[in-house]
Structure 1
């Protein structure tokens, strides 16, 4: 087995541990993803009528109040809820192979644990055609309805690799020809001045704490975003979107 890889599939989650997604974008994207197993679906007659559903999918008609009891309080379900299996695991080596012939940026998140942030990062990654994202398995959120909602369908289209050891993963990413750029406000140069003609792996830490020292040590270069001194830092999902834009327009 190649370095940095993990098994390419996981057993089906027990029914009680399966995530539930809600809202039109996450639900429609999950139904369209051939790698996603949708186990059950609930919806209002009006919302379901607009969908072309697979005949084998168990579907239950429900009113708005019933759907509200299937999801967290005040979750905007838009008349649709599904129960799914988590996506199969992806190996880091396979993700790297996907980008062998292009310069799409890779995103590496160091202990970003908030599902809304990770979902928003996935959405930006889809918008700017990033190669994928890499997180540490123990310090990243699982798939969930909140994450899928924040990703607005991007969870189904952006490759997401979870690794055991982020430092070793960064070594493998560097060996594959990526220029590992860690984003930190203390860096001497801006990201725009650092990108050049590189094939970038953009490394971002959690909001507040930032990247860990060991993660910084495994970057080729550190860079900052040229933000005003009126603001100490940006939310990690906003920083990821700006960094991806900078990589796209260079």
Structure 2
């Protein structure tokens, strides 16, 4: 069996969560020696407790390792984790009504990272995306997700419409978002097994995806702006589901 490929994580949240959940996968941690604030001191203590090699590295080199300047003085070399589950495995383990976020056509890593962070906060059990029209997990996604890339299964599927059909076979209600829908997200029952489907900004969901949904709903817009960023829309929908479930 081949070894997992090496990868890079950067930023306090992303690296801290990896140290907490899979410390054995962290090969080494690079830190900016000029940072001596309380946050960095606490982080260094956590790295040492995990028994991971700690390397003081100049900011310029950290920027090279991270592929950009937004590393917060923290970069880790890690082994890429194998995919956590299949969607069936995830759903088989769920207690209570499943809550799934489906993203159709989200290709911006910042948007995906923000969606994963929202999904984690709202208690979604998985995020699903098509393999051919979506961004994969990378260091930018992990940084923006603030650790949620390690905790929320992100499952890329070959055929999204078929996967939505499989969710329906599990009696999961598939709800898509559309600006032209008559009912709003606040008008429907989300206290049941639900998959919330959102498209990317601009294009929105593909026609086939929309047709596969059981129902389309809109997010009410009271101002001049016609639509929300996909991660904000995901937050609105997921937290409405959380509110109803509580």
Same fold (TM over 0.5): yes
Counterpart CA distance in 2 for 1:102 and 1:126 is 16
Counterpart CA distance in 2 for 1:20 and 1:152 is 14
Give 1:104 deviation, angstroms: 4.1
Give 1:131 deviation, angstroms: 1.1
| Aligned mate of 1:210, from 189, 204, 208 | 204
Q: CA RMSD in A?
A: 2.1
Counterpart CA distance in 1 for 2:174 and 2:225 is 25
Deviation sequence 1:219-239 (CA, Å, 0-9, x none): 110000111251111100000
Residue 184 (structure 2) aligns with: 190
Aligned residues of 2:98 and 2:172 also touching (Cα < 8 A): no
Could you state the TM-score of these two structures normalised by the residue count of structure 1? 0.86
Residue 6 (structure 1) aligns with: none
Count of residue pairs brought into register by the alignment: 235
Counterpart CA distance in 2 for 1:175 and 1:95 is 15
| Aligned mate of 1:144, from 138, 148, 160 | 138
Change beyond 3 A, Cα 1:61–1:159: same
Give 1:39 deviation, angstroms: 3.0
Could you state the TM-score of these two structures normalised by the residue count of structure 2? 0.88
Bigger helix fraction: 2
Change beyond 3 A, Cα 1:86–1:135: farther
| Aligned mate of 1:162, from 149, 156, 162 | 156
Give 1:168 deviation, angstroms: 1.1
Deviation sequence 1:40-97 (CA, Å, 0-9, x none): 3212355363324433x4432213333223223322x222101223332221101111
Q: Which runs of 5+ in 2 are unaligned?
A: none
Residue 219 (structure 1) aligns with: 213
Residue 19 (structure 2) aligns with: 31
Q: Which runs of 5+ in 1 are unaligned?
A: 1-8
Change beyond 3 A, Cα 1:222–1:83: same
Counterpart CA distance in 1 for 2:154 and 2:23 is 13
| Aligned mate of 1:44, from 14, 24, 32 | 32
Asked if 1:233 corresponds to 2:235, the answer is no
Which aligned segments of 4 or more residues in structure 1 are displaced greater than 6 angstroms? none
Counterpart CA distance in 2 for 1:34 and 1:67 is 22
